[in-house]
Amino acid sequence: MARLYVLLFVAQIVLAVCALISCLSAEEGEIKALPRIAWVLIILFFPLLGSLAWFAAGRERVPGRPAGGTPKGRLLPPRERPRPVAPDDDPEFLRSLGERSRREDGELFRRWEEDLRRREDEMRRRDGEPPREEDRPEGSTPAS
């Protein structure tokens, strides 16, 4: 008999945890009757009855949509597809990161080349050699 009570207690805890997860992850428009914090407190203080009440009366079912979200095998049209939640799930954001990285790398490489040419010109001046004009990129002038 004690094993049955332990099993029922564990089932009650699992039900309460599932109800809490469901309550906390529900969209604001899907919660009925009470505010979210009230449902959380009811589930915590009365795990069995609160969990059953949440699943029976606390959440609103959207017609034609199962509780788990989109039906299996059915793709949503583009306007109904949810936007990615995190920035690293958004392909446009990832693409912009790649473009920005390439631009920054190109700018850094250009500055390194200019710095190297400037140092070479300074070394040539110190040694008495004239700076090379053909190696200098367009638009740059010798450092004075």
Interval 58-94: pLDDT, tens: 877 666 555 555 455 555 565 665 665 677 777 888 8
In which band, very low, low, confident or very high, does the pLDDT at 27 lie, cut at 50, 70 and 90?
Answer: confident
Write out the H or E segment, with its range, that includes residue 51: helix 47-53
Main-chain phi, psi angles of 26, to 5 degrees = -70, 145
Dmax (CA) of the chain: 101
Average pLDDT of 14-19? 94
C-alpha pair distances (Å), 29 with each of 17, 23, 51: 21, 12, 19
Reported as a single tens digit per residue, the pLDDT across 29-66 is 888 888 899 999 999 999 999 999 998 888 776 665 55
Instruction: Look at residue 39 in the predicted model and tell me its pLDDT.
Output: 92
Mean pLDDT of the chain: 80
pLDDT at 144: 47
What is the arithmetic mean of pLDDT over 11-23?
93
Any idea what DSSP says for residue 67? T
pLDDT digits (tens, 9 = 90+) for 108-141: 999 999 999 999 988 888 887 776 665 555 655 5
* Cβ atoms of residues 44 and 15 within 8 Å: no
